[in-house]
Structure 1
Amino acid sequence: MKSIYTEVKVLVSATVWWETLFSVLAILENIDINYTLVESSALFAQGVVLQEKPIHAQTAPNGLELSIQWDLMQRVAEAFGVREKPERQAGCESFHVPYQGLTVTFYSYLNTVVVTDPDRLQLQHMNRTVWVKALDYYLHAYPEDHPVTLAVQRYFQQLQQHNSALNQSAWNQAAYDAWVQRHGPPQVQAARIQKDPQTRLASLNKYLPPIAGKKVINLLGSHGTKAIALAILGAQVTIVDMSQENAHYAREVAAAARVQLRYLVTDVLKLSPQELDGSYDLVFMELGILHYFVDLAPLARIVQQLLRSGGRLILQDFHPVSTKLLSSKGKKHKVSGNYFDKSLHATDVAFSKHLTEKDATDIQQVYQRYWNLGEIITAFAATGLVIQRLDEEPNSKIDDMGIPKTFTLVAER
């Protein structure tokens, strides 16, 4: 889709803008027209402000911009009393109509189906459904220094900070008790890891280089089981995680196992410049971590900066087919999701299932973004990391045979 963004002054009150939008949508619904908010309207509806210092928090663009089906332009024009022929440029038609003090612009992109657009995203405002062009699209549609690109980047940074604060608060509520419930007291867990560290590394083993003496960092390392297993095998291991409770448990397990473990309690995206010195032989992340990031590019850059030349990334996570597309119940599987969905999902923090009912009642919800394989691979490859392999692992349950459960991405700097 060719972008036709034009700068829009911020002059209109947000209340007027939303009321006008809903009035326009009522007309479209009456004539059975699907739409997507685009350009400045899509940005504003999702909370993006083009100016770093907005004129006023309750102001909005002085117009509405909507994409509609290319072969339904005439019907929409008639509904709004427009007789002029649409303007045409590079595969796009458009017309403008003054409506309730705003300029409403309708675009149609030839041979594009509005409702199947993978960048079409549903949001809620005042208990109303609104369809918008996803911010991911605008993050990549313009040059890096374009005002829209910079505005979306600022928005994602703010959203990530908000999301990280929620996650940090949630993971500091009762994680230590959750791990004791799940794995046992630190002494018990330490003895289990010491007995057979290779088994604790599970599916990581086939991707690991010779590890003795190597400098390893485990991002979002949680309770530290795999990191401690690597330390027992002779690696110099650092964990990065924002939870003091996770660190408390991991440090006690490491002490009981009599190994050195460096645990940095911080947001991965806020690692100090001194840490990002390109000295690590191995960066690994595994199982249930990518969905905490609203934009993968900053994480991928951190990984690239941590690795030495020839250093390796091993990333294992749950397969998007299972997390985004299918819902399963016993032997029955249903395609109930959207593989290209770009929305945030509110959910309980991961360790809540290991808590007692009393403790679990106070757990906060966090927001997650589920990524597809193309988005994941592209994010890391874009930093210059060389993709060595991508393995898709099947589900081990008989009822789920043939369905991918996890994937492993191996890349090198």
Structure 2
Amino acid sequence: MEITIIVEVKILASETAWWETLFVVLDKLGSIKADYTLIRSSALFAQGIVTQQDQAAPDRLELSIQWDLAQRVYEVFGAQEEKNRRADCESFQVHYQNLTITFYAYLNTVVVTDPDRLEIVHTNRTIWVKGLDYYLHSLPREHPDSRALQNYFRQLQQHNSQLNQAAWNQAAYDAWIQRHGPPQVLAERIKKDPLARLASLNKYLPAIEGKKIINLLGSHGTKAIALAVLGGQVTIVDISQENAQYAHEVAAAAGVQLRYIVADVLNLPTEELDHSYELVFMELGILHYFVDLAPLAQTVERLLRPGGRLILQDFHPVSTKLLKSSSKKHKVSGNYFDKSLHTTNVAFSKHLAAETHKASQQVYLRYWSLGEIVTAFAEAGLFIRRLEEEPNSKIDDMGIPKTFTLVAERLPVSVSD
């Protein structure tokens, strides 16, 4: 279920005037059915980001409008100043209640199809803005506004991590008992055929014996314990103490050593980020827990030794973002470029009896496109060795990608370095 982001801002006098002016502008645009998007400092402020330049409400409004309605907007707002024309855009200004209002009309574009356009709500009014994610990735990292955005996303991630931690410590242990059986039973299955437990990861794995391996968001530890049975020195990082309890008991029953760090993967101890791991792996249903992939990718880079490998396997965005399937029928019901947050139950809740479900098991997810995923790890300095898209194994879903696997490496340090 998609959620609408409610922007709560402490109202000061200048802020009140800014919002009032905005609503007057939006009412006028609505009267002529002119589509718009708040952009630049106006988009940032409307979503709770106060720029270093302003320190409070901006003294301006900046909006992108549908280009073929620019002349109509110009007339409705009684603009007097001459339009500023560029090859790809024309703009003009009007002044109202000490605010400068600038309209930008980007030629031959459609405002409503902008993939970075996001709906927010303020005082029960719907407002369309350019999403923060766009500015986070388009501004230079050292830009003051970028630093404000990084701080905002860091706080949002911490909030989501707290929600996830609370959710994953509500009967997760019991859920794994229901799903996989008692630890002794699962341990015997893993020992009998550890390669079977690794399933589709096998073709990407290096030789395991003696390798230092870390499994991020490793949950109940089945894959990590299989790697330990094969001779790996395995560490799991996960936010749930109940996941850790189940994994430790399975590992003990299997007769292998397992190191388990109960922590937010983005807040690992500094001494852990020492470029010492030969393999980092993550798999199935994990990327959507991150509101920004850059910190995760940077963590992976800091874990890997030169020549070390990342294996990331997750559900394909076509399946998670775009298609809704029922038996042999497939319907495009989503937006592949959607950047909004969604709410859902924690992953293990389907294994619990109905009476144990709790409202606090609702968490927030962000679904990523394949391009966003690959770019995040490439920008962190990892060399992309391989990207494979795997089909669904069900006959009814033949031809539709179900998962993908990304293999990347931290390049060896050259002699000149």
TM-score by length of 1: 0.93
Map residues 95-174 of structure 1 onto 2, 5 A cutoff.
95-174=92-171
Contact 1:291 1:368 (C-alpha < 8 Å) held by counterparts:
yes
2:79 counterpart letter in structure 1: V
Give the Cα separation in 1 of the matches to 2:370 and 2:151: 25
Corresponding residue for residue 38 of structure 1? 39
Residue 29 of structure 1 aligns with which residue?
A: 30
Encode CA deviations 1:111-164: one digit per residue, 9 max, x unaligned. 322122221122233343221111122123222221111111111111111111
Separation in 1, partners of 2:126, 2:180:
43
Deviation at 1:358, TM superposition (A): 1.2
> 1:96 Cα shift?
1.8
**Would the alpha carbon gap of residues 76 and 350 (structure 1) be closer, same or farther in structure 2, given more than 3 Å must change?**
same
TM-superposed CA distance for 1:250, in Å, is 0.6
The corresponding residue for 1:202 is 199
Alignment of 1:44-63 (within 5 A): 44-51=45-52, 60-63=57-60
- 1:284 alignment counterpart: 281
Partner amino acid, structure 2, of 1:86: K
Identity %: 74
- The equivalent of 1:80 in structure 2 is 77
Match of 1:348 in 2: 345
Q: What is the one-letter code of the residue matched to 1:33? A: A
CA contact (8 A) 1:11 1:61 kept: no
Secondary structure of the residue aligned to 1:176 is helix
1:92 maps to what in 2?
89
1:40-69: per-residue Cα shift (whole Å, max 9, x none)? 1111122222249x96xxx53232211012
Contact kept? 2:157, 2:291, Cα under 8 Å: yes
AA paired with 2:214? I
Please state whether the residue corresponding to 2:72 is helix, strand or coil: helix
Alpha carbon RMSD of aligned pairs, Å? 1.8
Q: For the residues of structure 2 that align with 1:66 and 1:376, how far apart are their CA atoms?
A: 30
Aligned to 1:6: none
1:327 aligned counterpart, secondary structure: strand
Instruction: Find out whether 1:226 has 2:227 as its counterpart.
Output: no
110-119 or 394-403, which moves further after superposition? Answer: 110-119
Counterparts of 1:198 and 1:12, CA distance in 2: 65
What amino acid maps onto 1:126 in structure 2?
A: T
Structure 1 residue runs of 4+, over 6 Å off? none
Distance in 2, matches of 1:207 and 1:108, equals 49
Q: Secondary structure at the match of 1:274?
A: helix
Q: Deviations over 1:255-305 (max 9, x none)?
A: 111110000000111111211111111000000000111111111011011
Q: Is the 8 A contact 2:81 2:93 kept in 1?
A: no
Q: CA deviation at 1:362?
A: 4.1
Distance 1:197 1:128 in 2: 55
Secondary structure class of the residue paired with 1:60:
coil
* Distance (Å, rounded) in 2 between the aligned partners of 1:179 and 1:150: 41
- Give the secondary-structure state (helix, strand or coil) at the position aligned to 1:96: strand
Listed as ranges, the gaps of 5+ residues in structure 2 are 1-10, 411-417
1:388 maps to which residue?
385
Q: Matched residue of 1:111: which SS?
A: coil
Q: Which amino acid aligns with 1:50?
A: T
Task: Show CA shifts across 1:336-366 (max 9, x none).
Answer: 1111111111211111111111111344311
**1:299 maps onto 2:296 in alignment:** yes
Could you tell me the TM-score, scaled by structure 2's length? 0.92
What letter matches 2:290 in structure 1? F
Take 2:63 and 2:379, find their aligned partners in 1: how far apart are those partners?
31
- Per the alignment, in what secondary structure is the counterpart of residue 34 of structure 2? coil
Structure 1: gaps spanning 5 or more residues: 1-9
* 3-state DSSP of counterpart to 2:112: helix
Specify the alignment match of 1:328 in structure 2: 325
